[in-house]
A and B are shown apart, each in its own frame.
Chain A
């Protein structure tokens, strides 16, 4: 009996809940850390980035309109499915990310925990970051954080220093989703494969299509289009440390996007990140005489 000849996976983009190839038809070679060929990943174009923004915008009001409880449940569900595919991710991080088995296991565990941690915030951040206001007059007055809208993000890029490319990506995606934003994220250029596998998790969990859109390819090529896109409300430069990120921030100024500056390494889970992608809305109403 002959050995089973494997069927390699075609890695594509994740836009609007579907897995299209780049409209440009371009791919680039992804290699192991030692240089062996692993796969051809899709190389997203400007058009793909714009399509992803359209998908994110279309999904935004629905995601923001879901109850906080429901959003939390959906984020927990992602953790559940990631747990179920733990072995696959450990394997991928080892081959694609080039990390040891123990490090890969730690990374997957940590990624699962990040989802769980942020999931719990969905119906609580509002109580911690909003408040009622004692104004000097007969008015009901309350300030609540609401999602900023569509966020574009550069995931941590330097996989060699920071792991296999999963935890950094998850640490960028999860806080954006908590309050009801939608997202276009550019995965690590050197380790894009775990990102597309994560997209498979998202696609088969209860995350509505378009809420998370994942692009693979060259961040240097794609990011300027996202930074200047008029329908993007915030720009997360977490993984842009090695890029000309000040130019991106300048491009973002034209539409006054909120900009989170680059970080070294993988962001620690924090409420600050949730709050950064919110807008405080204050509603006044007179109190009548009764």
Chain B
């Protein structure tokens, strides 16, 4: 028995009070859907977990109507202080049921329990606490006096951080005074449905949050529903584009958190121990199912061999296996479809001439698994250097000068995140300035916090989640009420068109309504 071998230490599933069937959570209660139900499975062994209702367009109508009613009759009339108290209750209940939520998440998603337990669920609670405090302080959010809620928010989230993405969406929406219809991903509905039970325990007024399950067509019906005022989507750039297209001209306020192909830049003066851990965390955290993953390692040429050797050593110590086992470092790939995509792109990597190395780990007989993999000799034109793999696959490129590193880092249509490893402060700040990325981690990677805005440049989407900026994505600027007199220059001399003119105030409101964040 080597030092790497441990006795199994799985979390018990008995803490879960799983139902055989889960309905749609609409207007405060679970109810049957009118689409064909589907089964959610554990990606670790392909065993069925529960049958999940499928919302068709009629169910989407019902859910949006419930959210609208709750907005008109309850939530928009409630004081910010009371909205905040509900969010505070939710945060506490998440903490109290954190173990159950973590088990549900690892079971349904395949991520290691140590991540769901120590990262996902604590951040979910933190997210609700953070935004709870904003609910009665909207006047101080930098959006002018009395910014207003938008109305009904349609939210569609991905499968990589099911509960955390739910928190990123619901917490700021409710704090700002909106009501919500949320659709979790088809392969990971479970934790959202446990969360719906938490909403019942919190006695959140019916209809304020509605959770409907289904596939892409359900999501499409939701975001394109005419009575929706706000759309928040996290997922693929292809779907983000489709949403941007279909909502064009509707006046809906849109936030899109899409794909990424982050450069993780390692200079030769980097603190090497931390950098190796950071590279591993950057791409192998959550099996690489992370939109901001550090999937392109840009390493200074003179330390390339050392970095690769040490990475291989480190990866050889990672334990892959049962997501519910507390010793597991690498869990299961979330779905068969995703596994096939990772395999296909990895094969393309080999065909295009890159050198493949995979950690030597035992692949379980059942379920969806992919060993941590490094490609060296990658060129900027290779597909594995350009396309998001969304799996535990690192593409390594080299550079000689900071200018080359910056040029290569920015050579992508994406712009979500980036990493810099160096001991030289001036270099870190200089490089950070020039990277076209919404989040830059210097001498760290994959850190998240409710106070910290997150979101991308370019084709990684628009708008920010987290922090004051994330709150603004769910509010209409209060400046439109204060305009024009207080903010226009020399108002007495400004041109005031009299014919065919709508009030200037209305024009500005239209402008601010279109603003992403």
* Residue from the list B142, B443, B461, B501 in contact with A256, Cβ < 8 A: B461
Residues of A within 8 Å of B501, CB to CB, are: 161-162, 264-265
Closest to B502 in A: A264
Are A279 and B438 closer than 8 Å at their CB atoms? Answer: yes
CB distance from B510 to the nearest CB of A (A): 6
Are A283 and B440 closer than 8 Å at their CB atoms? Answer: yes
B441 within 8 A of A: yes
Chain B 473-487 interface mask (CB, 8 Å, partner A; 1/0): 000010100011001
Are B452 and A260 closer than 8 Å at their CB atoms? Answer: no
* Residue from the list A141, A262, A266, A285 in contact with B497, Cβ < 8 A: A266
Are A284 and B439 closer than 8 Å at their CB atoms? Answer: yes
Are B511 and A281 closer than 8 Å at their CB atoms? Answer: no
Are B452 and A135 closer than 8 Å at their CB atoms? Answer: yes
Are B249 and A246 closer than 8 Å at their CB atoms? Answer: yes
A143 within 8 A of B: yes
Residues of A within 8 Å of B517, CB to CB, are: 280
Chain B 121-158 interface mask (CB, 8 Å, partner A; 1/0): 00000100000000000000010000000000000000
Are A264 and B507 closer than 8 Å at their CB atoms? Answer: yes
Closest to B490 in A: A113
Are B442 and A285 closer than 8 Å at their CB atoms? Answer: yes
Are B494 and A267 closer than 8 Å at their CB atoms? Answer: no
Supposing A254-B241, A282-B439, A285-B442 touch, asked if A260 and B514 sit within 8 A by C-beta, the answer is yes
A178 to B442, CA, bound (A): 28
Are B487 and A268 closer than 8 Å at their CB atoms? Answer: yes
Closest to B243 in A: A253
B337 within 8 A of A: no
Residues of B within 8 Å of A279, CB to CB, are: 415, 436, 438, 457
Chain B 207-243 interface mask (CB, 8 Å, partner A; 1/0): 0000000000000000000000000000001001100
Chain A 120-137 interface mask (CB, 8 Å, partner B; 1/0): 000000001101011111
Supposing A133-B451, A285-B442 touch, asked if A272 and B515 sit within 8 A by C-beta, the answer is yes
Are A284 and B441 closer than 8 Å at their CB atoms? Answer: yes
A270 to B489, CA, bound (A): 10
Mark out the residues of chain B between 413 and 461 whose CB falls within 8 Å of any chain A CB in the assembled complex: 413, 415, 428, 432, 434, 436-444, 447, 449, 451-455, 457-459, 461
A73 to B500, CA, bound (A): 37
A258 to B515, CA, bound (A): 8
Closest to B514 in A: A261
Supposing A143-B453, A256-B258, A256-B459 touch, asked if A272 and B241 sit within 8 A by C-beta, the answer is no
CB distance from B495 to the nearest CB of A (A): 5
A162 to B483, CA, bound (A): 19
Q: What 9 A-B pairs have minimum CB-CB distances, sorted nearest first? A: A246-B249, A253-B244, A135-B449, A249-B248, A113-B489, A253-B245, A261-B514, A263-B507, A117-B489
12 more CB-based (< 8 A) A-B contacts, given A149-B458, A268-B488: A117-B489, A135-B447, A161-B499, A233-B458, A250-B245, A252-B248, A255-B459, A258-B462, A265-B504, A268-B507, A282-B453, A286-B444
Instruction: State the B residues within 8 Å of A (CB).
Output: 126, 142, 237, 240-241, 244-245, 248-249, 251, 256, 258, 413, 415, 428, 432, 434, 436-444, 447, 449, 451-455, 457-459, 461-462, 464, 467-469, 477, 479, 483-484, 487-490, 493-495, 497, 499-502, 504, 506-508, 510-517
Pick 28 A–B contacts, CB within 8 A, sort by A: A114-B489, A136-B126, A141-B451, A143-B469, A161-B501, A163-B495, A249-B248, A253-B244, A253-B245, A253-B248, A256-B241, A259-B514, A266-B497, A267-B511, A269-B488, A270-B487, A272-B508, A276-B515, A280-B455, A280-B517, A281-B432, A281-B437, A281-B439, A283-B439, A284-B440, A284-B447, A285-B442, A286-B444
